[in-house]
Amino acid sequence: MPIFTPVPVPEPTPTPVPEPVTVPETHDYSGKGNGYTGSFYVDGFVIFHVQVDQASNAPLDVYFQSSDGMGGSYPLIEDRTGSYHADVCIGTADMPDYHAGKGSWYIEPGNYHLKITATGEWSVDVIHPSGKGRVLPQTFKGSTDAVYSLGMWNVDNTSVKFELSYSGAGHVAVYLWSWDGYGYIMASTETRAVFIDPDLDGVTSRTMTFGGNVPDENFGPWYHPPEGVYYLAIVADDANYTVKVS
């Protein structure tokens, strides 16, 4: 009599569960003429995508203001004219203040809004960024304000080189921001900036190395967390720039 050996039934292959994708939290506002956005909570680094359509000679100012009555008013876009389509940023920690030459602001976490001085239609997307962002090396080019993600960076162990070149008669400033809201001014054509050797007066290019075994005192006072997502912010008014990061 034949003996039948049972054949084991294979276990079904489990369907892989995709990792959740973190989507930046956003708030969208719009209006026309002078006005305010709604209130939003800020704790860390935040990006503002600002779009304004108006006559070329119309004034434009955008201020970041406390909605709790506990803070001040901080310029994001100041003394501009005409239409504007670009990104600006701020953080609830040490903020470089080249506008007033005071060194830095300390901005407490809390509820904030934007005050907008304009004549045309405007919209503002408030973005709380997340994720790893870009992979280096990268080259960034532009002629107006912008915010770029540099991705994850262990500042204590890895050095990164920034090569800046620019042309034009206007103003250029380069900032490095950490994910938790600390900002550092790396270079600026504003001679009133009070940080160590930031001036671009009389030159059209500059190479800077940051992180790794480079002492922080070479770059002025700046706290940084050991690892996290970093951002490069450019302020450019009537100037063209190229920044190579490697």
Q: Residue 6: inside a domain, yes or no? A: no
The Cα diameter of the chain in Å comes to 101
Q: How many domains are contained in the chain?
A: 2
Q: What value, to the nearest 5°, has the Cα angle with vertex 203 and ends 200 and 206? A: 70
Give the pair of three-digit tokens for residue 208: 């800077």
In a domain, 147, yes or no: yes
- Do both 120 and 175 map to the same domain? no
Q: Which residues pair with 54 in a beta bridge?
A: none
Claim to verify: residue 176 and residue 89 sit in the same structural domain: no
* Residues 153, 179 share a domain: yes
Burial of 44 (C-beta count, 10 Å sphere; 0-12/13-18/19+): middle
Residue that terminates a domain, selected from 112, 128, 144 = 128
Q: What was the pLDDT predicted at 18?
A: 42
Q: Which of 89-103, 178-192, 203-217 has the lowest mean pLDDT?
A: 89-103
Pick from 128, 143, 160: which residue ends a domain? 128
Task: Check pLDDT > 80 for residue 97.
Answer: no
* Three-state secondary-structure class, residue 198: coil
> Would the pTM of this model clear 0.85, i.e. be above it?
no
pLDDT at 120 over 90: yes
For residues 123 and 143, membership in a common domain is answered with: no
Q: Which domain holds residue 216?
A: 131-246
Tokens 């790396």 belong to residue? 186
The answer to whether 16 and 96 have CB atoms below 8 angstroms apart is no
pLDDT at 102: 35
Residues 106, 160, single domain; the answer is no
Are 232 and 151 in contact, with CB atoms under 8 Å apart? no
For residues 160 and 198, state if they share a domain.
yes
Same structural domain for residues 141 and 191? yes
Three-class secondary structure of residue 216 per DSSP = helix
Q: What CATH code is carried by the domain that includes residue 238? A: 2.60.120.380
CA distances in angstroms from 225 to 22, 180, 217, listed in the order given: 21, 8, 16
User: Does any domain span residue 206?
Assistant: yes
Residue with tokens 């406390």: 66
In this predicted structure, which of 72-81, 169-178, 231-240 has the lowest mean pLDDT?
Answer: 169-178
Q: Residues 150, 170: one domain?
A: yes
Is pLDDT above 70 for 133? no
Question: Which of 202 and 208 is assigned the larger pLDDT?
Answer: 208
